[in-house]
Chain A
Amino acid sequence: MRYVKWTIITVLVLLVFGFFHYTLPQRDIVRIVNTYEERQDLNGWTRMFWSSPDDNSDTLANRDVQFIQAIQANGKTMVYRNEDTGWGWPPYFKFDTANLYAEANDAISSKDAPEWYAIRHYGWRNEFLSIFPNAVGLKRVDGPDVRLIPYGNIVMLTLLALFVGFLYRVWAQFRERTIDPLLEDAGETWDAVDERADAARDKARGMWGRLRDRMRR
């Protein structure tokens, strides 16, 4: 039983962590090398790793998607997709895909004369599933070693922790003021029933029995 409990707890923690790791924004420092557009087949279960930006393309099995190719500061490659999130999940309210595409094209630089950009994105790159993080914003930085502080994530996670703490307080208050009094009432009623049953039993057993009971106590 203990293994079952810990397995469930581990899976839950991983799910929550994975959810936030996927959804919250991250910034990479990259050099942008190219942009391209490619038709993507969007049927199958990996559909959830792509946007459903407008109501029309939601029903299509494939459509054109913009991509941004980049080299990270550590030399590894990374490819971002560039899609509207619109009013959907995750709530980035990104409508400026076309503008970002123009910015990305403007930001292309060569190895000899590199220009470094902090690219804000959410999501995961996975080669086996063919999924890509979605680029949300682009900002010029001084060099590949700039230190970026994730203020947005700090604020988000702090608010979330406060909210969870608040929910706990609400629950504690509800239990103290509503559930416990109810249980106490029920307990008193039950005690009363118990006492009556005892009395009836004593009566039935007669005087000798009662006396014997008292001596045993």
Chain B
Amino acid sequence: MLGFIRLFIIVIVAQAILYVVVSVYSRSVRREKMEDSADEKIAQGDLDPGLRDAYIEGGMLDYEQSLRKKLIWGVIVLPMAAVLVLIYVTNFG
């Protein structure tokens, strides 16, 4: 039982770190995309340069609601599912 608790704590801490890293990375990539798309639109004359920041922030708001952001929870869920599968295969498969 102590072994299980120890493993659980280690895994949870590692997953929490990974979750934070992945979400910061994903947000950063999205912001870069929004910046590029804003610059492109400004160059084509579709966007007023004064609205650049608002355009980017709007895109980031969309991102916060998106499925992509929710999928990052997979970082927590998938390894735990893999452990359950592994336990079954090793002992009962």
Contacts and interface: CB of A to CB of B under 8 A. Distances in A.
Q: Do A and B come from one complex?
A: yes
A94 to B, nearest CB: 5
Interface residues of B, number: 19
A170 B3 contact: no
Nearest to A88: B3
A122 B93 CA distance: 18
Interface centre among B7, B32, B93, by most chain A C-beta atoms within 10 angstroms, is B7
A94 B6 CA distance: 16
A137 interface: yes
A99 B1 CA distance: 21
Interface string A63-97: 00000000000000000000000111001111110
Given A86-B3, A87-B3, A136 B28 contact: no
B86 interface: yes
Contacts of B93: 137
B43 interface: no
Given A173-B29, A177-B28, A87 B90 contact: no
B28 A92 contact: no
Interface residues of A, number: 19
A55 B2 contact: yes
A87 B7 contact: yes
Contact of B86 (A55, A92, A173): A92
A93 B83 contact: yes
Interface string B54-93: 0000000000000000000000000000010011001111
Contacts of A177: 28, 32
A54 interface: yes
A94 B90 contact: yes
Interface string A127-149: 00000000011000000000000
B80 to A, nearest CB: 12
Contacts of B21: 170
Given A170-B25, A177-B28, A177-B32, A91 B83 contact: yes
Given A55-B1, A95-B87, A137-B90, 9 more contacts: A54-B3, A87-B3, A87-B6, A88-B7, A91-B86, A92-B86, A94-B91, A137-B93, A177-B28
Interface of B: 1-4, 6-7, 21-22, 25, 28-29, 32, 83, 86-87, 90-93
